[in-house]
Amino acid sequence: MSLRYQINLRILISSLGILLLGSWITIWQARDAVNKELDSSINLVVELITFGFSQVSPTPFNETDWLPKLNLLNQTRHLSVQLKEPSGRLLSFAPKNLQTHHDEKPPRWFINLVAVNYPEVVHQITRANGEHITLIIQANPLDELTEAWQESIGFFSSFFLLTLFTFLAVNLAFNKALKSIDVIVSALKAIEIGQYQQKLPDFSIREYDSIAKAINHMTGELNVSRQQNRALTQHTLEIQEDERRRLSQELHDELGQSLTAIKVMAVTAGRSQAGAVDIKQTTDVIVSICDHLMTVVRSMMRQLHPLVLTELGLKATMEDLLNHWSIRNPDLKLTIDCPEAVDHLEQKIAIQVYRVVQECLTNIVRHAQARHASITLAIESQPVSGVALRLKVTDDGQGCTVDNINTGFGLLSMKERINSLGGDFTLQTQPQQGMSVIATIPLR
């Protein structure tokens, strides 16, 4: 259901409610006005006739001449007056304007709603000569009902025009707002299919302008994130190709040459002319070459995947990693605080934590010029995520501003690894104050 339809529907329902209330008030006021008018007319006629019959005059009072003149009064147009003499004879005096023109008569349903039963009014009058005469008055409110109907027609016509004007005014007022919504929806549809360059214009309505600025900011962040992800993906592919090339080179240079040498020596030792001394020298060389090959294979396996992580757990793998870096960098003091409980983490979490720490140590050795670095792993209870693994890598190196390292692929790689686990990644650093990498990973 569209917003325009909802607004118009609510206006229509409100108008109908006001119309019903106004109709009830109009009918109630019309009925009250008719009753008051009739009561006033009846009282006026009774008082005038009573006054006329009570007067003592030298000339005889002829009601047949006087009462028709009474009917000419506008106030008595609703009444039918009859006089009943003591002999039982009825004198009827209907007003000339009692009949209303057929075209002006209100509809029957309006008459039924407004009109009530008006009983005959019977009043005893005493003439000046002491004779009693009965006054009978019957009300006919048709003229008054016609006036009430005409007033109601005017009221309902005015109300209809007012409602129509309200519809037009509201639609004109909301037309610009609804056009703004259409523009925003069109932009969101474009963003939905990946067109993050889509920008919303400025709106004159403050609320819509705030929405447009928020959407433009969101699309800008999404565009930057997509560009970073594309760059990270490209960098990952380049690293993967470089790793394959290096492994291929090592396999060719180390394993290929060593295996060729072993084969030549084996063939030479197999000759019958070779003496015992030559065979002993050949076997010693083969053993040396095999030891070298085992060292090379272990190094390659460590680079591809730390087998100790699968065999001994995360804590032993982290300690082995620190020992490896300590041997290669004796000036850097490395410490680790890691509970035994981390050995029970899921394999996908353990390998990602290991890679993050590996990247942190690489950055510390290459860029930080630090003397000390510490690694802390802890399983804590978080107020929102529940149980979580908290990793913190801190060094006392030269540090830098956050803006200077936001474009690094190492940082992006660490962020993506933590985000892929549903965690939060935070970097804290200041020039000459070291750096802290903090990651919180929820444990399910």
Return the domain boundaries, the chain: 3-168, 306-442
Token pair in block for residue 159: 């109300």
Token pair in block for residue 21: 């209330």
Residue 410 in contact with residue 364, Cβ under 8 Å?
A: no
Helix, strand, or coil here: 19?
helix
Token pair in block for residue 277: 């001394």
- pLDDT tens across the length of the chain (444 residues): 676 777 778 878 887 888 788 788 878 887 787 777 777 777 776 776 666 656 545 544 455 555 555 555 555 566 667 677 777 777 665 555 444 444 567 788 877 777 766 667 777 777 666 677 777 776 677 777 777 788 888 887 887 888 788 878 877 777 777 788 888 888 888 888 878 787 888 888 788 888 888 988 888 888 888 887 777 777 777 777 777 777 777 777 777 777 887 877 777 776 655 556 667 777 888 888 888 888 888 777 777 777 778 888 899 999 988 998 999 899 999 999 999 999 988 888 998 899 899 889 988 998 888 999 999 999 988 776 678 999 999 999 888 776 666 556 778 888 888 888 888 999 888 888 889 999 999 987
CA distance readout (Å), 36 to 30, 138, 186? 10, 15, 64
Measured in degrees and rounded to the nearest 5, phi and psi for residue 197 equal -80, -10
Q: What is the pLDDT of residue 356?
A: 92
Name residue 420's amino acid.
S
Four-residue CA torsion sign, 179, 184, 189, 190: positive
Q: What is the pLDDT of residue 280?
A: 75
From the list 383, 397, 366, the residue with the least C-alpha distance to 440 is 383
Helix, strand, or coil here: 196?
coil
CB atoms within 10 A of CB 433: 13
From the list 96, 141, 100, the residue with the least C-alpha distance to 118 is 141
Four-residue CA torsion sign, 229, 231, 236, 240: positive
Q: What is the pLDDT of residue 101?
A: 45
Residue 296 in contact with residue 335, Cβ under 8 Å?
A: no
Q: What is the pLDDT of residue 62?
A: 54
Give the angle 157-161-163 at the CA atoms, nearest 5°: 115
Q: What is the pLDDT of residue 99?
A: 47
d(C-alpha 373, C-alpha 359), whole Å: 13
CB atoms within 10 A of CB 196: 18
d(C-alpha 219, C-alpha 74), whole Å: 80
SS3 per-residue string spanning 262-286: HHHHHHHHCCCCCCHHHHHHHHHHH
d(C-alpha 308, C-alpha 318), whole Å: 10
The DSSP bridge pattern shows strands 333-337 and 372-382 to be parallel
pTM of the model: 0.50
Can you tell me which residue has the tokens 């009221």?
A: 155
Cα Rg, the chain, nearest whole Å: 53
Q: Give 83's contacts (C-beta < 8 A, 6+ positions apart).
A: 63, 67, 90, 91, 93, 133, 134, 135, 136
Q: Tell me the fold of 306-442.
A: Heat Shock Protein 90 (3.30.565)
Structure letter (DSSP) for residue 302? H
d(C-alpha 401, C-alpha 354), whole Å: 26
